[in-house]
C-alpha cells in the first residue's frame, strides 16, 4: 500500500513490537504491495520487515502464518516465514508480524516470466505441494469466500453509493456489467460443482511474480497469509495461466499434470474475488488516495477482462 493506515499510530506500532524486542527500533514506512501495510524496522545490518494486516478480512491469519513457520522449520528454505510470535495484536482490528529482512529483488504482478524463471518457481511449488500439511493449515475451499460482498453490491445497484469519491463511478460500472457478471458467477458455480472432491495439497495461494523474491541464485516465496489446503491448480494458474503444457518442470519435479478446467476455475475465482473486494471498498467510507486510485484502475481492468 502506498500510504500507511490512518488509524495506526507510530507509538502504537512501536509498543506492539515489544513482542520481538524492537520497541526502540526506528521505523520507516515501506510503500510496497497491496492489501497489507509494511514498515522497515531498524537500520544498517539490523533490519526487520514489519507487516500490519487488517484482521477483519483475515480471520485465520494466525493459522496461516503458523503453517508457514512450520513449513520453514520443516526444511522448505524458500519459505520467508514470520518470526515468533507469528502474530501480535495491534489496536482494535489489526495484527502485526515481523519477518527477517531479506535483500533481494521482487517481481511485479503481471510480469512475463521467461521459461527459466517459470521453471524455478514451478520446482518450488512441486516441493511445497509434496510437503506434509502442518497442523494449523487452513482448508481453502474453491467456493468464493467474498461471494456475499459481491451479491450485496449487485443487489444494491439501484441506490446511491456516496461513501467516497469512487462510490458512484463503481456503482455505474457494475450496473453496466451486472448481466455479464451474473453469467460469470453462474459459470463459476458450475465449475466448482464439476471440480468435485479432489485430493488437496499445501498451497501458497498467491505465488505470482510479485511474491517471488530473487536473492542471487535463490528464489524465495513471500506473503504466506493465504496458505491453505487446496488442489494444486490454486497455485499453478498464477505461474502457467491456462497452459498445462507449460507445467513440465512441475511434473518433472513430482507434481501431477494440471487439469485445464481447474486452472480456468481458479483464474475466474481470482477475478471475481477482486471485484467483490473492490466493490466493498468503494461502498464503504473512503477518500481520494493513491491506493484508492490503484484499486479503481484494478476494478475497471478486471471487469473488462471478465466481460471481454
pLDDT (mean) for 205-224: 93
Specify the pTM: 0.93
What's the CATH number for 104-308?
3.90.1200.10
The answer to whether 207 and 238 have CB atoms below 8 angstroms apart is yes
Distance of CA 66 to the CA centre of its chain: 16
Domain with CATH 3.30.200.20 in the chain: 1-101
| 11 pLDDT more than 80 | yes
pLDDT digits (tens, 9 = 90+) for 180-212: 999 999 999 999 999 988 999 999 999 999 999
Cell numbers standing for residue 268 = 475466474
Q: Give φ, ψ of 213 to 5 degrees.
A: -105, 125
Half-sphere exposure of 3 (CA within 13 A, CB side): 11
Q: Give φ, ψ of 106 to 5 degrees.
A: -80, 160
Give the Cβ contact number of residue 287 at 10 Å: 10
Domain with CATH 3.90.1200.10 in the chain: 104-308
Q: Which residues pair with 128 in a beta bridge?
A: none
Closest CA to 303 of 280, 278, 281: 278
pLDDT digits (tens, 9 = 90+) for 38-96: 999 999 889 999 999 999 878 889 999 999 999 999 999 999 999 999 999 998 789 99
Average pLDDT, the chain: 94
CATH architecture of 1-101: 2-Layer Sandwich (3.30)
Cell 539490523 sits at which residue?
46
The answer to whether 48 and 42 have CB atoms below 8 angstroms apart is yes
Amino acid at each position: 500500500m502506498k500510504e500507511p493506515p490512518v488509524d495506526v499510530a507510530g507509538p502504537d506500532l512501536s509498543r506492539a513490537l515489544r513482542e520481538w524486542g524492537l520497541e526502540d527500533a526506528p521505523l520507516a514506512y515501506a510503500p510496497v504491495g497491496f492489501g497489507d501495510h509494511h514498515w522497515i524496522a531498524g537500520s544498517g545490518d539490523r533490519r526487520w520487515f514489519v507487516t500490519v494486516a487488517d484482521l477483519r478480512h483475515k480471520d485465520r491469519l494466525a493459522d496461516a502464518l503458523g503453517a508457514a513457520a512450520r513449513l520453514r522449520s520443516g526444511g522448505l528454505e524458500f519459505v520467508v516465514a514470520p518470526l515468533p510470535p507469528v502474530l501480535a495484536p495491534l489496536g482494535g482490528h489489526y495484527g502485526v508480524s515481523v519477518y527477517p529482512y531479506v535483500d533481494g529483488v521482487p517481481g511485479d504482478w503481471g510480469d512475463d516470466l521467461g521459461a527459466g524463471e517459470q521453471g524455478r518457481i514451478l520446482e518450488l511449488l512441486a516441493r511445497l505441494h509434496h510437503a506434509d500439511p502442518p497442523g494449523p493449515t487452513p482448508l481453502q475451499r474453491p467456493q468464493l469466500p467474498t461471494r456475499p460482498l459481491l451479491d450485496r453490491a449487485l443487489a444494491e445497484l439501484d441506490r446511491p453509493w456516496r461513501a467516497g469519491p469512487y462510490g458512484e463511478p463503481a456503482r455505474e460500472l457494475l450496473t453496466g456489467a451486472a448481466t455479464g457478471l451474473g453469467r460469470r458467477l453462474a459459470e463459476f458455480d458450475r465449475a466448482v460443482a464439476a471440480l468435485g472432491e479432489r485430493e488437496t495439497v499445501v498451497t501458497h495461494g498467491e505465488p505470482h511474480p510479485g511474491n517471488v523474491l530473487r536473492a542471487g541464485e535463490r528464489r524465495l516465496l513471500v506473503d504466506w497469509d493465504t496458505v491453505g489446503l487446496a488442489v494444486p491448480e490454486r497455485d499453478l494458474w498464477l505461474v502457467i495461466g491456462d497452459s498445462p503444457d507449460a507445467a513440465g518442470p512441475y511434473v518433472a519435479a513430482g507434481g501431477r499434470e494440471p487439469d485445464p478446467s481447474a486452472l480456468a476455475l481458479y483464474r475466474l475465482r481470482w477475478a471475481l474475488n477482486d471485484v467483490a473486494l473492490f466493490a466493498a471498498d468503494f461502498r464503504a467510507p473512503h477518500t481520494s488516495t493513491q491506493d484508492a486510485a490503484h484499486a479503481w484502475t484494478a476494478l475497471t481492468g478486471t471487469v473488462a477482462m471478465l466481460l471481454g
